[in-house]
């Protein structure tokens, strides 16, 4: 409830970019775009860290081929958006509406997507790793050939979801409200130490990437 009260704004307080270029600049400079209307905008190839897009209307927008590091998309509307070939590194997708979204060939890593709605979403060939999907809705979603690892699917609903060809690692499907009809086959098994090495290398890479993006944004603002 505290978060709800904090992000509610009067209409006069909402930052509303007038053009796609202004929207890109506002997102990259981490301006608070909570409640802004960015529906249908072409924002593809957007590389940014710390974007503030809480309750933002991104319905039908194009965010494909992007790199989004720690985006705040709490309760954002992303229905029917094009977000294929995009990578999410961390971030808040809690209660986000992603109905009919195209996340094909995308990757979501280390995010919080509790209560998110992926109804009718396309997640073909997508990768979801180390992400909370508690109480998320995947009704009739397409997860064909998806790669799923270390997910919390407690209370999640996979009614009618297609997981043909999907692979999973450390996912307790029995904790789901409605588990998928087709339970994914496991990844190729690796020893525990191998997963630790891979995770450590990934975290190091992410730290360098986040620093580089943040430093670039700060340099651009200073100039």
Query: In terms of domains, do 63 and 85 share one?
Result: yes
For residue 58, the model assigns a pLDDT of 98
Asked if residue 29 belongs to a domain, the reply is no
DSSP letter at 182 equals S
Cα three-residue angle 131-152-6, rounded to 5 degrees? 60
Q: What is the pTM of this model?
A: 0.82
Range of the domain at 216: 192-223
pLDDT digits (tens, 9 = 90+) for 156-205: 999 999 999 999 999 999 999 999 999 998 876 555 545 454 555 555 55
Query: In terms of domains, do 185 and 198 share one?
Result: no
Residue 24 to residue 14: CA distance in whole angstroms: 16
The model's confidence at residue 3, banded by pLDDT at 50, 70 and 90, is very low
Residue 162 sits in a domain whose CATH number is 2.160.20.80
Query: In terms of domains, do 119 and 206 share one?
Result: no
């Amino acid at each position: 409830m505290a978060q709800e009260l904090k992000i509610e704004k009067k209409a006069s307080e909402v930052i509303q970019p007038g053009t796609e270029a202004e929207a890109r600049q506002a997102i990259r400079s981490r301006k608070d775009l909570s409640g802004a209307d960015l529906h249908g905008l072409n924002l593809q190839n957007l590389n940014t860290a710390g974007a503030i897009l809480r309750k933002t209307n991104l319905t039908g927008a194009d965010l494909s081929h992007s790199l989004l590091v720690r985006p705040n998309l709490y309760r954002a509307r992303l229905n029917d958006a094009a977000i294929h070939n995009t990578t999410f590194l961390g971030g808040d997708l809690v209660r986000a509406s992603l109905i009919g979204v195209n996340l094909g060939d995308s990757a979501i890593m280390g995010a919080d997507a509790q209560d998110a709605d992926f109804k009718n979403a396309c997640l073909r060939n997508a990768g979801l790793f180390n992400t909370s999907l508690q109480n998320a809705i995947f009704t009739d979603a397409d997860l064909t050939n998806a790669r799923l690892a270390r997910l919390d699917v407690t209370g999640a609903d996979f009614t009618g979801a297609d997981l043909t060809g999907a692979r999973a690692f450390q996912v307790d499907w029995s904790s789901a409200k409605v588990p998928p009809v087709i339970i994914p086959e496991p990844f190729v098994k690796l020893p525990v130490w191998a997963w630790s090495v891979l995770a450590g290398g990934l975290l190091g890479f992410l730290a360098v990437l986040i620093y580089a993006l943040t430093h670039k944004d700060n340099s651009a603002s200073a100039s």
